């Protein structure tokens, strides 16, 4: 059964009986590049970014793409050329930003476990800001900065203890989460940071979670952050910017998140009402920029009827697309070519070849498919390829960027030789 309308990118549609992304037939791409194959729409990414840009019109805002959602160089280049900064969580991500043409001064470095080596590399690159997440990290960053004769610009991530009403694995703003400084400790921690010669306090940061579909948690978090801004500045510590993070959800299965421009209209009205409308803002969208811009293509290998379950075994697996195995996440699954009107529809679990019972892409799906048919797993642009692995020594799939009628291979399929490069036999 085909969902109507298709969740995901507005650029995804059937033309006749063939599924297209922008002006390119996905079936043709699967024939040329094989499967599993990730395909991304440049127009969809820029349209999602455009909603943020409209929401921030005439405001002093830096949009930093949270690249953990998808760190492929071809994707990063799209956002770099559109003027985005980047939210990173490792030195490896910093190197990818620079390789894609990103501006180091527009990079903010988040994450709870930055190493000294990563701090030194980020300081040498001249990043815009470190989002520090613990009192221990503050002291280490001060030590590292002084050792290299520099000053680290810092923003302290505060934990507002706001429930984002999302999956517990991607909730980050509650007091039991590992992220950020407790709201009650924030002023004291800011005083300490401001006293250290290797640090320059430049802002405050808050991020409450991911796949948020309700505006209420954002409004609650903003109130708590602005209360802290007032208290911190009353203590004599000026804040140059306020970073409200990201986390806006997308439509996976009829989800109804607010659009970015509608959400920020509400948030900016609150900001204005509280007297902070002229403050420089940073935001860190990730999933909402790329999630519905991508699909994962896979080929049906076998039909396997069972007493209680029917299985559709495909060549994509949990190593290619981990979200269902990790979060029991839902992704719509549709055929690349519509079946004949009289083709029998069967309820199946769509599963991969990995030797784990958790290797499934979709449960209880109504599909009319045979071996050799191809399927598209939708809304696969975020937290899919970036979390892919080589489990079972499976090579990661290729990636293609679609731009109108043109398509560009942006990652070659990984070979066994690629996987073993760097390994050595002991004797």
The span from the CA of 272 to the CA of 295, in Å, is 39
State the Cα–Cα distance between residues 365 and 213, nearest whole angstrom: 24
For the question of residue 355 being annotated catalytic, the response is yes
Are the C-beta atoms of residues 237 and 194 closer than 8 Å to each other? Answer: yes
Cα separation, 134 vs 228, in Å, equals 17
> Are 408 and 78 contacting, i.e. CB atoms less than 8 angstroms apart?
no
What is the rounded CA–CA span in Å between residue 225 and residue 230? 9
Distance, in Å, from the CA atom of 157 to the CA atom of 243, rounded to the nearest integer, reads 9
**Rounded-to-integer distance, Cα 313 and Cα 319, Å:** 15
Tokens of 114: 């930055």
Q: Which of 64, 129, 312, 355 is catalytic?
A: 355
Burial of 145 from C-beta contacts in 10 A (0-12 / 13-18 / 19+): buried
Q: Which residues contact 66 (CB under 8 A, 6 or more apart)?
A: 86, 87, 246, 284, 285, 286, 287
As a whole number of angstroms, the distance between CA 122 and CA 105 comes to: 10
Catalytic site residues?
355
């Amino acid at each position: 059964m085909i969902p109507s309308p298709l969740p995901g990118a507005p650029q995804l549609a059937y033309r006749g009986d063939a599924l297209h992304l922008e002006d390119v037939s996905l079936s043709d791409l699967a024939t040329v590049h094989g499967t599993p194959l990730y395909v991304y729409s440049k127009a969809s990414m820029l349209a999602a970014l455009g909603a943020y840009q409209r929401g921030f019109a005439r405001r002093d805002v830096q949009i930093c793409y949270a690249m953990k959602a998808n760190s492929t160089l071809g994707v990063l280049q799209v956002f770099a050329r559109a003027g985005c900064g980047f939210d990173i969580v490792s030195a490896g991500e910093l190197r990818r930003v620079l390789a894609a043409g990103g501006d180091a001064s527009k990079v903010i470095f988040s994450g709870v476990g930055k190493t000294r080596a990563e701090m030194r590399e980020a300081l040498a690159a001249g990043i815009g800001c470190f989002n520090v997440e613990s009192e221990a990290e503050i002291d280490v960053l001060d030590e590292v900065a002084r050792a290299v004769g520099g000053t680290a610009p810092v923003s302290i991530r505060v934990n507002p203890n706001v429930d984002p009403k999302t999956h517990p694995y991607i909730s980050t703003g509650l007091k039991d989460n590992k992220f950020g400084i407790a709201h009650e400790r924030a002023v004291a921690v800011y005083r300490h940071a401001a006293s250290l010669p290797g640090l320059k306090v430049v802002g405050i940061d808050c991020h409450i979670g991911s796949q948020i579909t309700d505006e209420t948690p954002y409004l609650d978090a903003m109130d708590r952050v602005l209360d802290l801004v007032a208290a911190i500045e009353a203590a004599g510590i000026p804040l140059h910017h306020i970073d409200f993070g990201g986390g806006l959800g997308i439509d996976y299965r009829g989800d109804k998140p607010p659009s970015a421009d509608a959400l920020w209209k509400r948030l900016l009205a609150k900001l204005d009402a509280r007297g902070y409308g002229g403050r420089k803002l940073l935001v860190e969208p990730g999933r909402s920029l790329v999630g519905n811009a991508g699909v994962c293509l896979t080929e049906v290998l076998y039909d396997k009827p069972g007493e209680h379950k029917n299985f559709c075994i495909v060549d994509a697996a949990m190593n290619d697309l981990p979200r269902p195995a990790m979060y029991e996440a839902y992704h719509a699954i549709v055929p690349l070519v519509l079946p004949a009107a009289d083709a029998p529809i069967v309820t199946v679990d769509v599963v991969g070849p990995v030797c784990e019972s958790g290797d499934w892409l979709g449960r209880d799906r109504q599909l009319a498919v045979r071996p050799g048919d191809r399927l598209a797993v939708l809304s696969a642009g975020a937290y899919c390829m970036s979390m892919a692995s080589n489990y079972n020594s499976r090579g990661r799939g290729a990636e293609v960027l679609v731009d109108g009628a043109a398509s560009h291979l942006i990652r070659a399929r990984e070979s066994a030789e690629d996987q073993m490069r760097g390994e050595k036999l002991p004797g």
